[in-house]
């Protein structure tokens, strides 16, 4: 310490030197360490969300693809009668009366199979018009059966209470937007008319086309009363995170993709409505609907 | 503070190092699950509905 600073130090009032100054220094030190700790925890959170979750999802993808091929080889395909307006007719189990099937000219058979147990891979979604997250390749992602948090750690999942893709009704697939591989990161870039492929290794590839909100409302006028905000550019529609109505069954065969909106928030949901236009069941469903 | 906490652990140096490693592992695991919960609840729920 120099003589000058020593002079300054002794020049401080005794109350400051004896009581207030040590307290102030302690407060500054504690505040500093607290800020550094909180900062490091926040950085850790960002790193975890962006990289750690995606690492686990990518690792899961490799396993799911192999598992999907193995499961497809052992899955039994059945032909189910299909009646427009009533969806797939099952065999009237559980003690219920067998359903009436409308005469043959207005019914047909579609290919189906029992969904896999929750958490197991179901199919692969491909959207050639958008890229995967931080990738130059178009989106291609194997999704599982189930949409609980544990299932969605692999990125995307099919909602169990909805029909499988390629079947009549409304098949719903939910996926992460910013974490766990973020398969639906660029879902807002899907345009009306873009094709969405569901590669089902059991019965084939189902082809869907993205529809606008107006198309959807035209097909289902009840939707007009729902609160929904179509994106200015794209086929996406933004709804509240509790808007369970988007999962309701529809006539025909639809695919509904759901993800969080906006990015890095779960306040709302971004929805893509798409209609079946091709695939092993499309001819029967489209001709009868 | 970390030094003081380390010195407050019981036993010889080797035992204290071992205890420190266990405590750090437990804290990191708890932090991992806290991050998972935080992210899945507020940041990106996966597009499901409440």
pLDDT bucket at A10, cuts 50 / 70 / 90:
low
Q: Which residues of A touch B47 (CB under 8 A)?
A: 147, 152, 174-177, 184, 257-260, 269-270
What is the SS3 string spanning A63-119? HHHHHHHHHHHHCCCEEEEEECCCEECCCCCCCCCCCCCCCHHHCEEEEECCCCCCC
Termini Cα distance of chain A = 91
Q: Do B38 and A45 touch (CB under 8 A)?
A: yes
Residue linked to tokens 């798409």: A274
pLDDT score for A213? 94
Structure tokens belonging to residue B13: 């140096």
The model's pLDDT over A78-117, given as tens digits with 9 standing for 90+, comes to 888 877 666 666 554 444 444 444 444 456 788 888 899 9
pTM: 0.82
Cross-chain CB nearest to A147 (options B35, B40, B46)? B46
Nearest chain A Cα distance for residue B39, angstroms: 7
Instruction: Indicate yes or no: CB of B48 within 8 angstroms of CB of A174.
Output: yes
Q: Rounded to whole angstroms, what are the CA distances from A91 to A75, A98, A126, A190, A218?
A: 19, 6, 33, 39, 33
Query: Quick count: other Cβ atoms within 10 Å of Cβ A200?
Result: 22
The C-alpha of B28 sits at a distance from chain A's nearest C-alpha, in angstroms, of 11
Distance from C-alpha of A31 to C-alpha of A9, rounded to nearest angstrom: 24
Q: CB distance A177–B44 less than 8 Å?
A: yes
Least confident span in A92-96, A170-174, A221-225? A92-96
Best of B30, B47, B49, B50 to mutate (most A CBs within 10 Å, chain A): B47
- Specify the DSSP element, H or E, that contains A9: helix A3-11
Q: How far is A106 from chain B (nearest CA, A)?
A: 36
Phi, psi of A27 (to 5 degrees): -60, -45
Spatial contact of A276 and A254, defined as CB atoms under 8 Å apart:
yes
> Under an 8 A CB cutoff, do B35 and A260 touch?
no
Three-class SS state of A282: helix
Calculate ∠ Cα B45-B46-B50, nearest 5°: 60
Nearest to A159 by CA among A286, A61, A271: A271
- How buried is B1 (Cβ within 10 angstroms: 0-12 exposed, 13-18 middle, 19+ buried)? exposed
Answer whether A241 sits within 8 Å of B42, measured CB to CB.
no
Average pLDDT in chain A? 86
Choose, out of B4, B45, B46, the residue to mutate when testing the contact with A (most A CBs < 10 Å): B46
- Smallest CA–CA distance, residue B34 to chain A, in Å, is 9
Is 60 exceeded by the pLDDT of residue A265? yes
User: What is the number of other CB atoms lying within 10 angstroms of the CB of residue B19?
Assistant: 14
pLDDT-derived band at A154 (thresholds 50, 70, 90) equals very high
DSSP notation for A124-156: EEEEEEEEPTT-SSEEEEEEEE--STTGGGGSE
* Number of neighbours of residue A112 by Cβ within 10 angstroms: 21
Which of A55, A160, A176 to probe by mutation at the B interface, max B CB count within 10 Å? A176
Residue of A nearest to B49 (CA): A242
Say whether pLDDT at B40 is over 80.
yes
Does residue B29 belong to the interface with chain A, where contact is any CB pair within 8 Å?
A: no
Q: Which residue has the higher pLDDT, A249 or B30?
A: B30
Say which residue, A194 or A15, is predicted with more confidence. A194
**Paired residues of A124 in beta bridges:** A142, A199
- Summarize the confidence of residues A262-275 as an average pLDDT: 93
Reported as a pLDDT band with limits 50, 70 and 90, residue A42 is: very high
pLDDT band at A28 (very low <50, low <70, confident <90, very high): very high
């Amino acid at each position: 310490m120099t003589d000058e600073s020593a002079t300054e130090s002794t020049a401080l009032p005794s109350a400051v030197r004896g009581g207030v100054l040590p307290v102030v220094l302690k407060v500054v030190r504690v505040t500093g360490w607290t800020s550094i700790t909180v900062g490091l925890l926040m950085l850790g959170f960002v790193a975890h969300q962006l990289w750690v979750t995606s690492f686990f999802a990518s690792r899961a993808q490799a396993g799911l693809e192999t598992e999907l091929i193995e499961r497809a080889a052992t899955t039994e395909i059945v032909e189910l009668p299909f009646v427009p307006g009533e969806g797939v007719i099952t065999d009237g189990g559980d003690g219920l009366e067998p359903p009436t099937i409308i005469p043959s000219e207005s019914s047909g058979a579609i290919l189906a199979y029992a969904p896999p147990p929750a958490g197991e891979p179901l199919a692969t979604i491909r959207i050639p018009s958008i890229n995967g997250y931080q990738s130059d390749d178009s989106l291609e992602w194997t999704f599982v059966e189930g949409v609980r948090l544990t299932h969605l750690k692999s990125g995307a999942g099919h909602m169990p209470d909805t029909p499988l893709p390629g079947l009549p009704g409304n098949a719903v697939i939910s996926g992460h937007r910013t974490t766990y591989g973020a398969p639906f990161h660029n879902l807002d870039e899907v345009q009306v008319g873009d094709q969405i492929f569901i590669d089902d290794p059991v019965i084939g590839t189902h082809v869907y086309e993205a529809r606008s909100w107006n198309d959807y409302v035209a097909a289902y006028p009840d939707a007009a009363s729902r609160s929904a905000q179509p994106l200015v550019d794209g086929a996406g529609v933004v709804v509240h995170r509790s808007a369970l109505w988007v999962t309701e069954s529809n006539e025909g065969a639809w695919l509904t993709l759901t993800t969080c909106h906006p990015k890095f928030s779960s306040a709302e949901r971004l929805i893509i409505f798409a209609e079946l236009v091709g695939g092993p069941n499309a001819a029967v469903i489209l001709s009868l609907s | 503070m970390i030094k003081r906490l380390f010195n407050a652990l019981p036993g010889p140096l080797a035992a204290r190092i071992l205890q420190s490693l266990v405590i750090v592992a437990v804290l990191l695991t708890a932090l991992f699950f806290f991050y998972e919960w935080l992210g899945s609840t507020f940041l990106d729920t996966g597009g499901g509905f409440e």
